[in-house]
A and B are shown apart, each in its own frame.
Chain A
Amino acid sequence: MPNDNPVTQDPSRRLFTIAAAGAAASWVMTACGPKRLYEAPKDRLRSLIAEEERRYREQYGKDVTVSGAGPLPGVQFAYALDISRCIGCRRCVYACVAENNQSRDPQIQWIRVLSMEKDKGVDFSHADPYYHPGHVPEEGHFYVPVGCQHCENSPCTKVCPTGATWAEKDGIVVIDYDWCIGCRYCMAACPYGARHFNWTEPAIPSAELNPNMHYLGNRPRTKGVVEKCTFCIQRARAGRYPACVEVCPVGARKFGNILDASSEIRYIIENKRILVLKEELNTVPRFFYFYAT
């Protein structure tokens, strides 16, 4: 196409225009590049993780490792909780707090144990999360611990305006704490009260900090972002049980790979009477409740 504008035919100007266009293009490319952990390529993830380790080491004055372990092929995690066994001791709550570096002040707890009345059944409108008897279990009561249900059809990830939360390939619903803007739409959308917000700066004494972290899991959060259960992703992806499963004194909590035909979790789902919470909402939880006895 003939160019009849004399201005751009000045060679130095043309050079400048090309250079400027190139700079603008590269700037846009950088700006458009991956920023969320969701889409970070492996090498960038490694440098991000190294940076995190350095930061936490400085902040807490102790050696910290942040795992970048990804989902394994052929693994789909699922959880089952035996309502007939749970005694409401809340050991899972505190094991979870310690393992997952939840804020001690203000207190954040990912698991909420609800005391329910036996003659009412699983009924949230009569549930009491603040029960405090001298001894558990209380007469006429049973207990339903509730945390993230890791829904397959998760309302929280659907509504997030920035794509800061998503389901990993192994089924774990995670949050990118560095990308969350703290709008709390996911908290309004969650039917299980599983998501918790850092209303003020979270505080963990460094002596109590769990140094074995995962970049999508228990690394320390900042104020103004949302957090929740990750099935102890730092443990699960290293082939270990979540802290709540390990600590449960009555063995009410079961966890495993649902694709493994010989797993305990698979046996429970195939053979026990199972239920999921708020089934009518079609969230398709990976967290099952069952009655073993």
Chain B
Amino acid sequence: MPHENSVGSIRLFSGFAHGSLKLILRGNRAYWLWLAFLGALIVSGALAYSAQVRVGLGLTAMRDQVSWGFYIGNFTFLVGVAAAAVVLVIPAYIYDWKPIREIVIYGELLAISAITMCLMFVLVDIGRPDRFWHLIPPFGHLNFPSSVLAWDVMVLNLYFIVNFVVATHILYRAFHGKHYIKKLVVPLVLLSVPMAVGIHTVTAFLYNGLAARPYWNSSILAPQFLASAFCSGPAILLVVLQLLRRFTRFEIRDAAIWKIAELMAYAMFLNLFLHGAEAFKEFYSNTQHLLFTRYWYLGLGSHRTLVPYAWSAVALNLVAFALFISPAMRRNWITLNIGCLATYAGVYIEKGMGLIIPGLTPDALGEIYEYYPTMTELRVAAGIFAAGFLLFTLMLKVAVPISLGEFRGSEDPAAEAELASAGIGAAHPSTAHPGAAQAI
């Protein structure tokens, strides 16, 4: 009996894998152009990275003074994007808000892509990527609990696994015309909520715990990370959902989109408020620690590389807030999308350029080294973003038809009956209707 069952599941799985592959290989001209575009960026990034591996991180603009830069900034931003899942999961599961429940799975797929990009950014930043296994016990040694980086490695990987299991399980079951196993999914989803908060908090603590860097050593850092994360993640998702609605039969209710935009307005208010609170404390108390904040907003003498970035981030965040707080504006598709782009760009600049670099400028001994990413860094970063978007695209390509009920494998009544009798799964009688997969 167990043998037959395992053979059956292998058959079921190969059906799923084979079908997914067919879906991925089927698409119109725009789809293939998009893939070609991403492919070109990935190739360019891979070439730049291979040069970096050959020559060393000297091909980046990082030096002893500013020892972390664009890569770690992007990493931090993308940890925030992975928040998209939680912003949607909280109302969907805790408040049982139906319109958002239908699209939670896309938030999870976005989180999977974002975490993949995060891990890639860390990998390209380390000097000896061939030694990454030194982090993994029992082969390596993880300095836990002393190193916050050890915590971060753990929570990011766990968060990845949780989202991956939930998303693939739901899609896999739906593919075979079955409802997901509630006993598996609900606890994992509930776990993913504190975990999402956890990954942002731990990532903030990574910087926050360093007394050597006063710009980061402020307890407002973690709350500010969370606030900005709850803006940037949904901003991407809102655009993706509109695209899906336009190019597939997928239906997403306006109410869901407007609700997400409303949540973003509150998060953006909090983000701006926390930035303001920090700026007040720094400028009013006017200690030597002000140097770092001053470098970001005003520049230090002739060193003004980041100043335009600082003010464009502030302006973009203010615009986004203004657009999302007004119900009329967030219900207008044009202003809604402008708001999404402004949020994305604002938070991206604020995290990518505004968090890491001013934290290290001036350096620990007061020297000002003006960091600005090199072409190598830009190409590698673009390649990683392309890889993440490629992953997201391919996952959507499989997930959307499954959710719509357009893509189904052969049902296996024997396996289903067995699962039902074992009490671990509920063969759902109503799986024929398209909403089944989304009605989580």
Interface residues of chain A, those whose CB is within 8 Å of chain B, are: 28, 31-32, 35-36, 106, 112, 114, 123-127, 129, 146, 155, 158-164, 179-185, 187-193, 195-201, 222-226, 281-282
Contact = CB atoms under 8 A, between A and B. Distances in A.
Q: Is the interface of A mostly helix, strand, loop or mixed?
A: loop
A150 to B, nearest CB: 16
Interface string B125-161: 1111101101101111111001111100100000000
Contact of B150 (A114, A161, A180): A161
Contacts of B275: none
Interface in B328-369: 359-360, 362-367
A191 B56 contact: no
B73 to A, nearest CB: 13
B366 A125 contact: yes
B147 A161 contact: yes
B285 interface: no
Nearest to B149: A161
Q: Can you list the 10 inter-chain pairs with the closest CB atoms, starting with the nearest?
A: A182-B127, A224-B127, A124-B366, A191-B212, A199-B58, A200-B56, A200-B58, A161-B149, A193-B364, A32-B138
Contacts of A129: 365, 367
Contact of B128 (A31, A32, A155, A182): A182
User: Of B63, B134, B360, B363, which is in contact with the most chain A CB atoms at under 10 Å from its CB?
Assistant: B134
A179 B210 contact: no
Given A125-B288, A224-B57, A196 B366 contact: no
B127 A197 contact: yes
Nearest to B211: A281
A85 B57 CA distance: 39
B55 interface: yes
B132 A161 contact: no
A250 to B, nearest CB: 22
A144 to B, nearest CB: 9
Contact of A184 (B127, B150, B367): B127
Nearest to B362: A125
28 contacts: A35-B134, A125-B288, A127-B366, A127-B367, A129-B365, A155-B210, A155-B212, A159-B147, A162-B135, A179-B134, A182-B126, A182-B128, A183-B122, A183-B125, A183-B126, A184-B68, A188-B207, A188-B359, A189-B210, A190-B364, A193-B65, A196-B64, A197-B67, A199-B57, A200-B56, A224-B128, A226-B127, A282-B211
Interface string B90-101: 000000000000
Contacts of B67: 184, 187-188, 197
A159 to B, nearest CB: 5
A159 B148 contact: yes
Given A125-B288, A159-B210, A201-B56, A181 B143 contact: no
User: Of A32, A146, A195, A197, which is in contact with the most chain B CB atoms at under 10 Å from its CB?
Assistant: A197
Contact of B141 (A163, A185, A189, A224): A163
User: Of A126, A189, A192, which is in contact with the most chain B CB atoms at under 10 Å from its CB?
Assistant: A189
B213 interface: yes
A197 B364 contact: no
Given A127-B365, A160-B143, A106 B58 contact: yes
Contact of B149 (A124, A183, A223): A183
Contacts of B209: 159
Interface in B147-182: 147-150, 153
Nearest to B363: A193
User: Of A125, A182, A187, A188, which is in contact with the most chain B CB atoms at under 10 Å from its CB?
Assistant: A188
A146 B365 contact: yes
B118 interface: no
B86 interface: no
Contacts of B147: 158-161, 185
B199 to A, nearest CB: 16
A155 B367 contact: no
B138 A224 contact: no
Nearest to A106: B58
A224 B213 contact: no
Contacts of B122: 183
Contacts of B38: none
A125 to B, nearest CB: 5
User: Of B64, B126, B140, B149, which is in contact with the most chain A CB atoms at under 10 Å from its CB?
Assistant: B64
A193 B128 contact: no
A55 to B, nearest CB: 17
Contacts of A199: 56-58, 62-63
